[in-house]
C-alpha cells in the first residue's frame, strides 16, 4: 500500500533505466521467396520485432498468420499470396506498435519454396540457403531425356553479395553445362540445358572466388519457367509501341509513354504462364526516337539532326552499329550511350567517324560509369558525321541493347525535375509530427512543384508543400493523430502545371541500390505511426530578436525541449533544411551548405536533475528494503509486535523520504536547463529566395547508447537576405579607340546592410582576352569605388555586352566565406579611331 502511494504522480520515473521499445529491424529473412497461390512460412530475425508484428508488403490481398513462439529477435509468419499475384521482386517490412522496419527484398512467383536440401522433391522448385566461404552446395534432381531445364541463382537481386557459379552434371558424372555471374542478371547466374538421358542429375553451386562475402544467402531455382531479362526497345515514346521482353517469352507487349509521368514502370507478364524473376523495366521518353536498322551487314541508320535518340542492339559478335547524323559546321555535339544503366551486359564504346570510317573522336567510360559520353565540335564545312556504337569486348546477342543520345551541347535540355528522399521509412509518433526532407533536382525548370504523399494511414496527414521555383528542396510535415493506424506504404509525388512544364514525378530513395534496376521499389516510403514511450517534445524558443537568414553570416536559433523525470540524458540535434547540400568531389561542401556551426550539437544533460533522480533511485531501494523487513516481521511465528511496529515505522519514514525525493526530482526536471541557442552558418552563395529549417531532436540515455525518444520542431521559413549590393554610376559606356587604346572610368557605390561590415573587392568579369582585369578594394568604412578599364589599341571596335560588375567580401572579420553581390551587367561601345580630315 505504501509503494503504490509513493509512485503516484511520477509516471515516467524509471524510463531512463529501462530498455525502451524501438522500431523493428530485420537482419535476415528465410525463406526469401513467396509462392503465388501457395502458403509459405517466412522466418524473420532481427531486433524489436515485438509486440504485435505485422508483415507489410505492397501486394494486395496477402493473408498472414503469426505463428506461436514469436520473440523480439525472431518471428515466423504463415503467408498466403493470391494466385493472381504478379511474379517479381517485392519489398517486405515488419510493423509493430513502435514503427516499421527496414525493407528486405523477396521473390514472388509460382515456384514451390523450400529450404535447400540434397534432393529436390519435384520440379520446378526454389530452394533457399546460404553459402559460406569455400563451401559448395549440391542438389540432385531426376530428369528425363529431352527435357529442357533451367538452373538459376537469385542472390544479388535479393540484396546479397554471393558471386554464384553453377555446374550441371549428368547421371554419369560428366560435366554438362556451367554458368558464371552475369551483368545481365546483376551478378547472378543462369544456365540452360537439354537433358541427354533419363536419370539423376546434379547441380553444384559455389562462389566464384570460393570466398563468399556476406550476406551470402541465395535462392536456387531448378525447372522450367518463363523469364525476361531486358526490354526491346528499352524506351518507348508517345506512340504505342510493341515491346519485346527478351528472354524465353513468345510474344511482345504494347506500351506507350505517359504524357505526364515518365517514371520507369515494370512490364506486366503475359497471361497464362508460369513466370519467375524480376519484372523488366520499361522507360518512357517524349524525345524524338528512332530504332536502329537491324538488317544484315550493319546498315547505316539515318538519325537526321540533333536532338535525337536511337535504340539499338548488338546482335552479333564484333558488331558495330553505324548511324548517320546531319550536323551544322561549328556546332558542339553531346553524344552519350546508355547501356549499363539500362541493365544491358555490354561495355559500350562510342566513336565519331568521317565518311571513310576515320576516327574523329571516341570514348569508353565517362564520369565513373561504364557508359560512354563525349562532346565534339563539328569542323568547318562538315555537314555529315557518322556515329558508331560497339562493345569493348566484341560481345553480341539479343539482350545487348543500348540507347544512343545526341544533343546540341549549347542548347538547354528540356525542362524537367526529379525528386529524392534519403530513407525508406518515416516514423511518426502519435500525437506529434515528423519532418521528411525532399531533394529536388531541376533541369532547366524554374517553376513551383507541389509535393505530397500519395496515400497515408488513417489518422496520419501530410501538409501539402511547395518547392518554389528557385528551391532545390523542401521539408514535408507529416502528423499522426492520437488514434492513427500503424503503417502504410506510400510514394512521394511532385506535380507542376506551368507554361514551362506540365508533369507528375514520383520521388525515389536516392540511397537505394534499386534506383535503376527496380525504381518502383526504390520509390516506396513506409510511413508508420507509433506510440512513444517517453513524452518528449521540442520547439523553437520565443525570442524578441528578429531572426534573419543573412548570407555569409551566423544565424542563431534557440530551441527548448521538455524532458520527463528520469529521461535526463542529453538531446542530440540534427538540422534539417530545404537545401540540397552542394557536392565537391562526391562529398558535401561545408562552405556552401546551410549547417550548424558545430559538427555535433547537443542540449546537455542537467546535472541537478540527474542528481535528484539518483536520489529517487536510492530512496526507492531503501523503501524496497523496508518493505521486505515489514513483510518478514508480519510472517514471523510468533509475531514480534515490537519488531513489527519498528518495521512499519521504518517503512513509513522511507515512504515519506521517497515521496520527498519524487517531488524534488519533479521540481529539478521542471527547472532543468532545456534551452540551447544553436548557431547556424549561412553560405555566401545561397541561390534560393527562402529556406525551410527544422531540428530533429533525439533524447538519449545517459551513456548516449540508446535513443529514448525522437521529436521535431515545427518547420520555419526564412527569407535569404543578401547584405551586399553594388550600384554603378552608369551601366552603359562609350569610348573611342585611339593609337594608345581607350580608357573607360567605372565608378559607383558598394552597399552593405544587415550588419555586414567588411572589405569588399570590386572587379569586372567577362572582359575579352587582352584587356587587363581591374580590381579595387573598398574598405569596410567606405562606400565609393572607381577604377579604369584599359582597352589596348589592338582591340576591335564594337559592343561588349557580356561584361559584369561584381563585388564580394566577408560579412565580418570572423566569417569564413565570401558574400557576392548580384552582378550588374555593363555595356561598352568601343568606337573606331577617328579619321584625320584632309
> What per-residue confidence (pLDDT) applies to 131?
96
Q: To which H or E segment does residue 542 belong? A: none
Is residue 458 a contact partner of residue 508, using CB atoms and an 8 Å limit? no
Least confident residue range of 51-65, 251-265, 442-456, 711-725: 251-265
If we measure between CA atoms, which residue out of 707, 689, 690, 686 comes closest to residue 698? 707
Least confident residue range of 355-369, 386-400, 700-714: 355-369
pLDDT at 636 over 70: yes
Residue 254's pLDDT band (boundaries 50, 70, 90)? low
> What per-residue confidence (pLDDT) applies to 45?
98
> What per-residue confidence (pLDDT) applies to 680?
96
- The dihedral through the CA atoms of 270, 228, 512, 682 has a sign that is negative
Q: To which H or E segment does residue 86 belong? A: none
> What per-residue confidence (pLDDT) applies to 255?
63
Give per-residue pLDDT as tens, 751-770.
999 999 999 999 999 999 99
> What per-residue confidence (pLDDT) applies to 806?
97
- The dihedral through the CA atoms of 204, 208, 213, 219 has a sign that is negative
* Strongest mean pLDDT among 185-199, 349-363, 656-670: 185-199
Is residue 186 a contact partner of residue 156, using CB atoms and an 8 Å limit? yes
pLDDT at 231 over 70: yes
> What per-residue confidence (pLDDT) applies to 7?
37
> Cα 137–140–143 angle (5° rounding)?
145
> What per-residue confidence (pLDDT) applies to 19?
53
Residue 298's pLDDT band (boundaries 50, 70, 90)? low
> What per-residue confidence (pLDDT) applies to 58?
86
Answer with the residue of higher pLDDT: 48 or 270.
48
What does the mean pLDDT of the chain come to? 92
β-strand 33-35 against 228-232: which pairing, if any? unpaired
Give per-residue pLDDT as tens, 133-175.
999 999 999 999 999 999 999 999 999 999 999 999 999 999 9
Relative orientation angle of helices 641-671 and 607-635, to the nearest 10 degrees:
160
Residue 640's pLDDT band (boundaries 50, 70, 90)? confident
> What per-residue confidence (pLDDT) applies to 297?
54
pLDDT at 407 over 50: yes
Please state the rounded mean pLDDT for residues 414-418: 92
| Upper half-sphere CA count for residue 416 (Cβ side, 13 Å) | 14
pLDDT at 208 over 80: yes
Give per-residue pLDDT as tens, 565-609.
999 999 999 999 999 999 888 899 999 999 999 999 999 999 999
> What per-residue confidence (pLDDT) applies to 261?
56
DSSP annotation of 738? B
Residue with cell string 515528423 = 434
Rounded to an integer, what is the distance from CA 644 to the centroid of its chain?
68
pLDDT at 15 over 80: no
> What per-residue confidence (pLDDT) applies to 547?
85
> What per-residue confidence (pLDDT) applies to 616?
94
Q: Residue 549 and residue 552: Cα distance in Å, rounded?
A: 9
Taking the model in full, what pTM does it have? 0.89
> What per-residue confidence (pLDDT) applies to 13?
45
Is residue 762 a contact partner of residue 726, using CB atoms and an 8 Å limit? yes
Residue 836's pLDDT band (boundaries 50, 70, 90)? low
Please state the rounded mean pLDDT for residues 642-668: 92
pLDDT at 294 over 80: no
pLDDT at 685 over 60: yes
pLDDT at 50 over 60: yes
Residue 284's pLDDT band (boundaries 50, 70, 90)? confident
> What per-residue confidence (pLDDT) applies to 603?
97
> What per-residue confidence (pLDDT) applies to 826?
97
Residue 6's pLDDT band (boundaries 50, 70, 90)? very low
Of all residues in the chain, what percent carry a pLDDT higher than 70?
95
Which residues, at least 6 apart from 208, have a Cβ–Cβ distance to it below 8 Å? 163, 164, 165, 180, 181
Q: Could you check whether the bond before residue 31 is cis, i.e. omega within 30 degrees of 0?
A: yes
Give per-residue pLDDT as tens, 524-565.
999 999 999 899 999 999 887 788 899 999 999 999 999 999
Please report the beta strands in 666-791, taking only residues with DSSP state E, as ranges in sequence order: 675-681, 690-700, 707-712, 716-721, 724-728, 732-736, 742-752, 760-765, 775-778, 784-791
Burial class (CB in 10 A: 0-12, 13-18, 19+), 795: middle
> What per-residue confidence (pLDDT) applies to 413?
86
Amino acid at each position: 500500500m505504501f509503494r503504490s502511494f509513493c509512485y503516484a504522480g511520477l509516471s515516467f520515473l524509471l524510463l531512463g533505466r529501462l530498455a525502451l521499445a524501438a522500431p523493428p529491424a530485420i537482419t535476415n529473412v528465410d525463406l526469401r521467396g513467396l509462392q503465388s497461390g501457395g502458403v509459405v512460412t517466412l522466418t524473420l530475425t532481427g531486433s524489436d520485432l515485438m509486440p504485435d508484428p505485422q508483415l507489410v508488403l505492397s501486394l494486395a490481398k496477402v493473408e498472414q498468420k503469426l505463428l506461436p513462439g514469436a520473440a523480439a529477435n525472431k518471428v515466423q509468419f504463415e503467408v498466403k499470396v493470391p494466385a493472381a499475384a504478379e511474379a517479381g521482386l517485392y519489398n517486405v517490412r515488419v510493423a509493430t506498435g513502435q514503427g516499421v522496419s527496414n525493407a528486405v527484398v523477396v521473390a514472388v512467383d509460382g515456384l514451390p519454396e523450400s529450404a535447400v536440401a540434397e534432393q529436390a522433391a519435384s520440379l520446378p522448385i526454389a530452394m533457399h540457403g546460404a553459402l559460406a566461404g569455400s563451401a559448395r552446395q549440391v542438389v540432385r534432381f531426376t530428369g528425363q531425356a529431352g527435357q529442357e531445364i533451367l538452373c538459376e541463382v537469385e542472390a544479388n537481386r535479393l540484396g546479397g553479395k554471393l558471386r554464384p557459379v553453377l555446374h550441371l552434371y549428368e547421371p554419369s558424372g560428366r560435366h554438362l553445362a556451367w554458368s558464371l555471374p552475369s551483368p545481365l542478371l546483376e551478378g547472378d547466374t543462369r544456365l540452360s540445358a537439354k537433358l541427354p538421358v533419363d536419370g539423376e542429375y546434379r547441380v553444384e553451386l559455389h562462389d566464384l572466388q570460393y570466398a563468399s562475402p556476406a550476406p551470402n544467402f541465395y535462392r536456387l531455382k531448378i525447372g522450367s519457367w518463363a523469364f525476361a531479362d531486358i526490354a526491346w526497345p528499352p524506351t518507348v515514346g508517345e506512340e504505342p509501341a510493341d515491346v519485346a521482353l527478351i528472354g524465353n517469352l513468345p510474344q511482345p507487349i504494347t506500351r506507350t509513354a505517359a504524357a505526364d509521368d515518365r517514371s520507369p514502370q515494370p512490364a506486366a507478364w503475359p497471361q497464362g504462364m508460369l513466370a519467375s524473376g524480376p519484372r523488366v523495366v520499361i522507360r518512357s521518353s517524349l524525345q524524338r526516337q528512332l530504332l536502329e536498322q537491324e538488317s544484315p551487314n550493319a546498315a547505316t541508320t539515318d538519325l537526321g539532326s540533333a536532338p535525337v535518340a536511337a535504340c539499338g542492339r548488338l546482335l552479333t559478335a564484333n558488331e558495330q552499329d553505324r548511324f548517320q547524323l546531319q550536323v551544322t559546321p561549328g556546332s558542339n555535339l553531346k553524344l552519350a550511350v546508355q547501356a549499363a544503366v539500362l541493365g544491358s551486359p555490354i561495355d559500350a564504346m562510342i566513336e565519331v567517324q568521317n565518311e571513310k570510317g576515320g576516327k574523329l573522336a571516341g570514348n569508353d567510360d565517362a564520369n565513373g560509369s561504364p557508359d560512354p559520353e563525349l562532346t565534339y565540335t563539328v569542323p568547318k564545312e562538315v555537314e555529315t558525321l557518322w556515329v558508331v556504337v560497339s562493345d569493348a569486348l566484341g560481345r553480341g546477342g539479343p539482350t545487348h541493347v543500348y540507347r544512343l543520345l545526341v544533343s546540341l551541347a549549347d542548347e538547354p535540355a528540356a525542362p524537367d525535375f526529379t525528386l529524392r528522399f534519403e530513407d525508406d521509412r518515416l516514423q511518426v509518433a502519435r500525437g506529434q509530427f515528423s519532418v521528411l526532407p525532399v531533394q529536388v533536382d531541376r533541369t532547366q525548370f524554374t517553376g513551383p512543384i507541389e509535393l505530397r504523399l500519395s496515400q497515408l494511414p488513417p489518422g496520419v496527414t501530410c501538409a501539402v508543400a511547395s518547392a518554389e521555383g528557385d528551391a532545390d528542396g523542401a521539408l514535408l510535415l507529416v502528423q499522426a493523430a492520437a488514434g492513427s493506424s500503424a503503417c502504410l506504404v506510400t510514394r512521394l509525388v511532385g506535380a507542376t502545371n506551368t507554361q514551362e512544364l506540365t508533369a507528375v514525378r514520383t520521388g525515389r530513395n536516392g540511397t537505394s541500390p534499386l534506383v535503376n534496376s527496380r525504381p518502383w521499389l526504390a520509390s516506396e516510403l513506409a510511413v508508420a505511426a507509433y506510440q512513444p514511450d517517453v513524452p518528449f517534445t521540442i520547439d523553437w524558443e520565443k525570442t524578441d530578436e528578429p531572426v534573419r537568414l543573412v548570407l555569409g553570416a551566423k544565424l542563431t536559433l534557440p530551441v527548448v525541449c521538455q524532458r520527463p523525470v528520469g529521461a535526463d540524458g542529453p538531446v542530440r540535434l540534427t538540422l534539417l533544411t530545404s537545401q540540397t547540400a552542394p557536392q565537391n568531389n562526391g562529398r558535401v561542401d561545408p562552405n556552401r551548405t546551410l549547417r550548424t556551426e558545430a559538427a555535433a550539437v547537443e542540449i546537455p544533460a542537467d546535472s541537478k536533475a540527474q542528481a535528484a533522480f539518483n536520489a529517487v533511485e536510492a530512496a526507492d531501494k531503501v523503501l524496497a528494503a523496508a518493505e521486505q523487513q515489514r513483510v518478514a516481521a508480519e510472517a514471523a511465528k510468533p509475531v514480534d509486535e515490537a519488531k513489527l511496529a519498528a518495521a512499519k515505522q521504518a517503512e513509513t519514514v522511507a515512504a515519506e523520504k521517497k515521496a520527498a525525493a519524487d517531488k524534488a526530482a519533479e521540481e529539478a526536471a521542471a527547472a532543468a536547463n532545456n534551452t540551447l541557442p544553436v548557431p547556424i552558418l549561412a553560405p555566401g552563395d545561397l541561390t534560393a529566395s527562402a529556406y525551410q529549417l527544422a531540428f530533429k531532436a533525439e533524447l538519449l540515455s545517459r551513456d548516449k547508447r540508446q535513443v529514448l525518444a525522437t521529436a521535431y520542431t515545427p518547420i520555419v521559413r526564412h527569407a535569404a537576405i543578401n547584405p551586399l549590393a553594388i550600384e554603378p554610376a552608369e551601366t552603359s559606356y562609350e569610348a573611342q579607340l585611339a593609337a594608345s587604346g581607350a580608357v573607360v572610368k567605372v565608378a559607383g557605390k558598394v552597399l552593405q546592410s544587415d550588419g555586414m561590415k567588411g572589405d569588399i573587392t570590386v572587379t569586372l568579369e567577362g572582359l575579352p582576352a587582352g584587356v587587363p582585369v581591374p580590381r579595387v578594394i573598398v574598405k569596410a568604412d567606405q562606400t565609393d569605388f572607381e577604377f579604369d578599364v584599359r582597352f589596348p589599341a589592338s582591340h576591335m571596335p564594337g559592343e561588349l555586352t557580356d561584361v559584369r560588375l561584381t563585388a564580394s567580401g566577408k560579412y565580418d572579420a570572423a566569417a569564413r566565406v565570401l558574400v557576392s553581390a548580384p552582378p550588374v551587367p555593363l555595356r561598352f561601345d568601343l568606337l573606331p579611331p577617328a579619321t584625320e580630315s584632309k
